[in-house]
A and B are shown apart, each in its own frame.
Chain A
């Protein structure tokens, strides 16, 4: 295994209902940072504290339920919207009542979509299903990895508004990775800049991103 360090010396803390936007050139380690937080990759040093607990003390499946992730491509599972939304709870042996699914779908603006086949959804709708699917696990934190970069402008702004309200209503801590500085300024309470795997700047959007 190569000793290539992709993310190094990044320390950050995040509170409830707070969105931290992470920007930086491609290949700078933004996605890798997210993958360390839900432990899809293993850190060689350092750790993550989730509500005070070292995340190594939390079983990986439990950790990933608490830390929801929405990626650029939604990777919906074949089947209906309902199948996708109940995927997470089902892994735990829980069944979501159709009422709960409908509530989640309503929250993401897809009321009445439960029985639709995901193959026939638009990009924006798919991203909403992906968010509802992550929320079904009742996460405390949300990782958003370029979630709107495959969407057109209208869908992008709608999904952004959705993220904002979901983060606020559910009291989530969220990290948004984006290459779009304007989006970082719109959504982020704070903005962090990562270059070559290192945190080079962090602060309020207007301080970090300039005028």
Chain B
């Protein structure tokens, strides 16, 4: 229907964006009936998303034509941004940004480096950046889920945790059930994506590869490669972020710092 009214490609794209964003907002406004207030955060995220992607879109050609070494800086910038965004999921825990950035850098960074070295990721900027950004984005989601879950678990179990401490247990021991739960929950999307690969989930990368001339079988297998890399990157990220955030939730005197109450 939109194609009848909008003829230029950009105009059509913006119209499509408006419709999609309106739908997302409509859902968030509908959620208000259940006293769920996400419309502010969603509106902000939508606006931010469209501006960011248009800015990147307008310089993408330049970026992709740059020398290979520039991709290192691009990836580092992405990691820092991912750390900032998902670190916000651990309100009241000091050092969440550093923890997140470090975890994502280790998780996504290690997998990118290792797989580029092994030859599973091409060093051409047009391949390294899209695949790298996918790994970083997924590591970011995992990290956000892990931190969010850890925070919720700890706040719901302050009594159990402090009882353990009062009996002479250390932070690792008393927080163990909650770091385990956070780790497992944070990997659900990565594992489910892998389980549904090809059935529920036929990712765009594969379609793109086939369109640009790769054999469909290679494109299919490479899609598996990408998801396996995502799983590895997510697993490392979550392991590091849950370990580090646990250390930040306790003081050096082994007191639980993360307590319910207004943010500090």
Contacts and interface: CB of A to CB of B under 8 A. Distances in A.
Interface of A: 1, 38-42, 60-62, 64-65, 68-69, 71, 73, 75, 77, 87-88, 91-92, 133-134, 137
B70 interface: no
Contact of B166 (A42, A62, A69, A73): A69
A75 B163 contact: yes
B168 interface: yes
Q: Which of A40, A68, A73 has the most C-beta atoms of chain B within 10 angstroms of its own C-beta?
A: A40
Nearest to B254: A60
B238 to A, nearest CB: 24
Q: Which of B166, B254, B256 has the most C-beta atoms of chain A within 10 angstroms of its own C-beta?
A: B166
Using C-beta atoms within 8 Å of the partner chain, give the interface range for chain B: 10 to 19
A61 B134 CA distance: 44
A133 B168 CA distance: 11
Contact of B168 (A1, A65, A71): A65
A69 B163 CA distance: 8
B160 interface: yes
Contact of B159 (A68, A73, A87, A92): A73
A194 B259 CA distance: 24
15 contacts: A1-B264, A40-B255, A42-B251, A42-B255, A60-B165, A60-B254, A61-B170, A64-B168, A88-B167, A88-B169, A91-B169, A91-B173, A92-B168, A133-B167, A137-B167
Given A1-B264, A73-B159, A77-B160, A91 B253 contact: no
Given A41-B255, A42-B251, A42-B255, A91 B168 contact: yes
B190 to A, nearest CB: 29
A40 B165 CA distance: 8
B163 A91 contact: no
B255 A91 contact: no
Interface in B159-179: 159-160, 162-170, 173
Contact of B170 (A88, A91, A134, A137): A91
Contacts of A1: 264
A175 B168 CA distance: 19
A11 B160 CA distance: 30
A91 B253 CA distance: 17
Nearest to B256: A40
Nearest to B162: A40
Contact of B169 (A61, A69, A73): A61
Interface string B58-80: 00000000000000000000000
Contacts of B168: 61-62, 64-65, 88, 91-92, 137
A91 B264 contact: no
Interface in B139-168: 159-160, 162-168
A64 B256 CA distance: 14
Nearest to A34: B166
A41 B107 CA distance: 35
A64 B166 contact: yes
Contacts of A88: 167-169
Contacts of B256: 40
B254 A61 contact: yes
Interface string B242-258: 00000000010111100
Contacts of A91: 167-170, 173
Given A41-B255, A91-B168, 8 more contacts: A39-B253, A39-B255, A61-B168, A61-B170, A69-B163, A77-B160, A87-B164, A88-B167
